[in-house]
Structure 1
Amino acid sequence: MRVTAAGSLPGDDFRGALGAVTEVLPDILPLPELPGRGVGSQMVGRTLGLIDGLGFDLQPAGWRLTTSSGSGADHRRARSQWRFDLDDAEELLQGFGGVLKVAVAGPWTLAASVERPTGDRLLADHGARREMAQALAHGVGSLFADLSRRLPETTLRLQVDEPLVVSVAEAQVPTASGFSRHRRVHAPELSGALSPLIAIDRDAILHCCADGAWLPLARSAGFASASLDLTLFETGRLRDVVGQWLADDLSMVLGVVDTARHEVQSADDLVTRALGFLRPLGLDPEVLRDRVVLGTACGLAGWSLPDAMAQLEQLRRAGELIDEQLER
């Protein structure tokens, strides 16, 4: 069974991280994200670094949209970091004929994280959040065009990280004062902001580590694949939702590595968890091999580097063992 990881890793050595994951995760290679390099390499800042035409600066409360297209120094550094990383990836991945997975924060996580020039989150402003979603789609499209030119033999895969989409949908995002919550965003608008990303990669993956029923949103937005934290889907009702997803010819990255534990889980343990979840679904083993990828629930940035690499090796081994188990 193929394996991958969410993407974030400890440390600040991009070239070293890319070389290491290329060896252990060649099936679906995640482009490393290294939050330890600073705010411009963390999930929101890194994604803002792809956006052109809108300016952002860093305030004590976090990232803020500026009143003009002028960017602050931190946003400019985030943009520069992408150029350095892409140059390194082009050099190190020449001739790579596999799948390179690139993760970006989704429009709803950005809208719930970035402030308006006048204060509070972009989420409070219909026009601002729509503009952000459009700018994100344009930025990701430009990134994929650049990567396609640099790495013509590589298949690109988009991972859209939306850890806050459930909070947005359920009106759980606090306002700036902390005394209230932003209004709920309804399903048609939620899926409408995500759908343009499918035009960039029709096999894009929606990744969410949050507890909640977000798979119907992924389906309505047009995602062909979803990446989930297995811990949150092991109850009977949610297990059935996953089974129906796979039965409908959609794909799944099954987050068997519990990244919240911060300890290496053995290949045998991962196989036991995965098969304990998959076998009761009653699907043909060939369907599972074709549509399920083993992965991590979320990122490994909070781990030590030796433990993170040891965990990815155990994950790779688990993929091999599951293939043997499914034959029985």
Structure 2
Amino acid sequence: MGNQIIRVARYTSGSINSIGREEYRHKYNHKNTSIDEARSRLNITLGNKDRKTLYQLWKTHIEHYGLNYAGKKNQIAMEQIVITASPDFFKQLGWDKIVAREWDKTDIPKEICQYFNDSLKFVKEYIGKENLLSATLHFDEETPHLHVDYIPVICGKRKRKDVYLKDEQGRCIRNERGHAIRAKGSDGKTLYEYVDEPSSINRSQFWAERGGRQSYRQMQDLFHEQVASKYGLERGNRGTDRKHEEQSIYKAKLLKKQIEQKQEAILTLGRLENQTVDELAKVLQKSPHVLGRINQSIKIAMGEKPPNQIITVNRERGR
């Protein structure tokens, strides 16, 4: 029937605005070219009653809960879970992206809505309801999918502080070496003061509390056990790490690699162009792999062979 799909993306504070504009379909030039505006009215957003921007939601959440956020460059400020499934799964439930252009929200198959309701319930329990910002169901792309925005918050912990002897003016009493003297109780044991640290945004610690390097795999297993299996979906391959990238970034990397391959072939031919037969023989003797590249470049240049296709392997991101 198909596979479950659940991915995690992470964002800095500087990218929250652009992510929010695309998620909420605010009017601007979207990088996502697969959006069909005829179906955008079917989209559903939860948790943003005041129609704020995603950055405003994030900022309000931090202030409301008094979260500690250092705001360092490249520090992760927000994460997003994306949940969907194989296209065949939705087709069997009655999804048709062409016919859906004439639908309103009441025409969306109930089984599809139920799948995403169960998915959202799972995320609330796994991530923590208090950490969620908003959730958006998109029906205006190739396959229906759910975005859940949240802040990776770790609860404040009790921190131990040293206690020192002080005089009447509140100054630390020091020994003959100038070191502050630590206070001791009547039992002779060193005294400590315990203070509560505020909750803070810390992605690495957030996922460490959920299994560390195995956290993503465990989340996939739990999602399959609690949600996907009830709809006949498969878990997918275990032991792999699949990394999600934006479509525009993936295409840019693909194009860059193709250009680099062509440049390498041109440079190789240029280096060998003015050399004698004996010199060429010496080069090929030292680096026999160059001959294969030359033959391949000649075939491509003469149209006898198409350019190499770059095969990429996506792996589930392990934490």
| TM bracket, shorter-chain basis | under 0.3
Question: TM-score normalised to the size of structure 1?
Answer: 0.26
Question: TM-score normalised to the size of structure 2?
Answer: 0.26
* Higher normalized helix content (fraction of residues): 1
